[in-house]
Amino acid sequence: MKAVGIVVEYNPFHNGHVYHAVESKQAANADVVIAIMSGSFLQRGEPALVNKWARAKMALAGGVDLVFELPYPFATQQAGIFAQGAISILETLDCDAFCFGSEDGRLEPFMLTYQFLRGNKDDFDEKVRHHLKAGCSYPKAASLAFNELQGHEDVLDLTQPNNILGLEYVKAALSKQFKIKPLTIHRIAAGYHETELSNSPIASATGIRKAIADKTNLKDIITYVPKSTKEVLQQYLTVYHSFHDWEKYWPLLKYQILSASVAELADIYEIEEGIEFRMKEMAAIASSFHEFMTLLKTKRYTWTRIQRMCVHLLTRTKKDDMQAFQEAPSYLRLLGMNPNGREYLRKIKKNLPLPLISRLSAFNDPSIQLDIRASQVYALGLSQPYQHLLMQREYGSPVIVNE
């Protein structure tokens, strides 16, 4: 059996994700689609709309055969480390290829750009440092540096978010000399950051989340998600009475900031260069998470980077905690499968170099402690008794099996 891997967040699973799964399977001529999915908190520094189990259930109903969790030390990181963790898991799972959506839609520019940057690394890094000192955010500095250096007409547009992430996937595979092969398909319809729904049946996850921001009405998203996604979201509301968003965690975050010393804040992962002083100042006067972010954001720090700082603050994740787990994931946590995925897993299971976890209570390795802590904090976004109910799901339940 041939497997193709995809790296996802499914926040929530929508029609564009169905297209990605189907097209990836076809492009790779694969029998199985394996999704590596972020857990409680996501790469852009946000709590997931619904928990990992609900999103895995959506994925299995939408064309994915196996869903594995991307561990916290990789899921809540800048693009390079995020990609490194995900592609490493797909390599471990013996995938023949991985496939990502991109604005460009052709693989050759990714390969050319990777080779160009590898051959001009010192010059590139120097120009990036120059633009950072001038006050640019890292994505802006990297894009400027690349445009100043590149001389080939068929290189990537690195101002586009999916192109940037796709390049990191390619880099993660080629730099480690993995056998897994990269593939890309063209991202269709809605852009990554589009917030408004259109007449097209494919909308961005951002737009879909905005459309259900009142947390009670799902009718506006019916056109843009599979029926199964709407059913899972409605079931989540019925069971837990709420979706998750940053405002639910604002009182907890504000307490963490105001009760910690400046030195304690500086010890949190990604908090650097004195921003801890500004955090304490703005947390004292902000009445909401959005207001706090608006007050805190500067030209130097992107909204995404600050949100990731806030995630690490919320989970009390220190610099030392993360540095111990950034080479590659040390376990494989299975969240869900269908019969096709189960058959593939049966074939490769004996040769897996990492422990396969199907139930958290049966695995005691220290490497999973950050995931457990993140799940405990994530549950605090719900009211009681739903916090306890969510943690029962985390510890006690086996994988989701979609028959």
Query: Are the beta carbons of 127 and 134 closer than 8 angstroms?
Result: no
How many residues are recorded in the chain? 403
The reply, when asked if residue 236 is annotated as ligand binding, is no
Q: Is 187 known as a binding-site position?
A: yes
Structure tokens at 331: 């376990």
| 191 labelled binding-site residue | no
> Concatenated DSSP letters for 55-78?
HHHHHHHTT-SEEEEEPHHHHTS-
Q: What is the pLDDT along the chain (403 residues), one digit of tens a residue?
A: 999 999 999 999 999 999 999 999 999 999 999 999 999 999 999 999 999 999 999 999 999 999 999 999 999 999 999 999 999 999 999 999 999 999 888 999 899 889 888 888 888 889 888 888 887 777 677 778 877 876 555 567 777 888 889 999 999 999 999 999 999 999 875 555 555 666 678 888 888 998 887 555 788 899 999 999 999 999 999 999 999 999 999 999 999 999 999 999 999 999 998 999 999 999 999 999 999 999 998 877 889 999 999 999 999 999 998 887 777 899 999 999 999 999 999 999 999 999 999 888 778 788 899 999 999 999 999 998 899 989 888 887 778 888 7
- Any binding-site annotation on 22? no
3-state SS assignment for residue 139? helix
Block residue for tokens 């390079």: 80
29 annotated ligand-binding residue: no
19 marked among binding-site residues: yes
| CA neighbor of 239 nearest in space, from 389, 379, 378 | 389
∠ Cα 48 166 32 (to 5°): 75
20 marked as binding residue: yes
pTM of the model: 0.93
9 is in an annotated binding site: yes
**13 annotated as belonging to a binding site for a ligand:** yes
